Chains A and B, each alone.
Chain A
């Protein structure tokens, strides 16, 4: 799953609980750092964070089952 606009991760944890893996991105490095720091231990294996914008991120074609826009459009 790809979450766009993850911010401080406030929705990421709920999403990750039911996903196989999550790539959570946000263009704000401070928010991404907050999200990384507050990621529950049980989810750390399956959540990756990146400082990136949706316009620029390079993702392998046809590699994601679901894209979630978190207040980001």
Chain B
């Protein structure tokens, strides 16, 4: 989703919610994802293009709070997410399909060379907002 279109999308979706309904947003946040083999970091994924976009989207949600369409987050929590792959090559192939994130070539070479399963570790943030009853 393009950051500049997020506010319009949120307004569109909010119309579907009952008064007092919930908006729950799950997003990746810094620090960026790393590839690990048996808890040892093999390399980092470059998310320098992704995080500014994610921040802009988070700001759009905050803007709806300022407008009074959503109440401030009822719940906000950061937690680790582990994505398991049977091989380094499988991880490289998966990350190739991620939008606005990339595995640097030198990292991809190291990850491909790993024998056995690998894990991508990233930090996610969940935020839960209640819709306001009025407006």
Show the binding face of A for B, using Cβ within 8 Å: 2, 4, 11, 54-55, 59-73
Most chain B CB within a 10 A radius of its CB, from A64, A67, A68: A67
In the complex, which residue of chain A has the Cβ closest to the Cβ of B56?
A73
Known: A59-B16, A65-B17. A54 touches B1 (CB 8 A): yes
Q: Are A66 and B1 in contact (CB under 8 A)?
A: no
- Given the complex of chains A and B, what is the CA–CA distance between A72 and B10 in angstroms? 11
In the complex, which residue of chain B has the Cβ closest to the Cβ of A54?
B9
List chain A residues, Cβ under 8 A from B12.
Answer: 54-55
Q: Report the count of interface residues on B (CB-CB < 8 A).
A: 26
Known: A73-B6, A73-B58. A65 touches B21 (CB 8 A): yes
Show the binding face of B for A, using Cβ within 8 Å: 1, 5-6, 8-9, 12-19, 21-28, 54, 57-58, 60-61
A interface secondary structure, majority? loop
The count of A-to-B residue pairs whose CB atoms sit within 8 angstroms is: 67
Q: Are A67 and B24 in contact (CB under 8 A)?
A: yes
Q: Are B8 and A62 in contact (CB under 8 A)?
A: no
List chain B residues, Cβ under 8 A from A66.
Answer: 17, 21-24
Q: Smallest Cβ distance from A19 to chain B, in angstroms?
A: 11
In the complex, which residue of chain B has the Cβ closest to the Cβ of A11?
B26
Known: A73-B1, A73-B61. A64 touches B9 (CB 8 A): no
Q: Select one of A67, A69, A73 contacting B17, CB under 8 A.
A: A67
Known: A55-B5, A55-B9, A67-B13. A73 touches B19 (CB 8 A): no
Q: Smallest Cβ distance from B32 to chain A, in angstroms?
A: 15
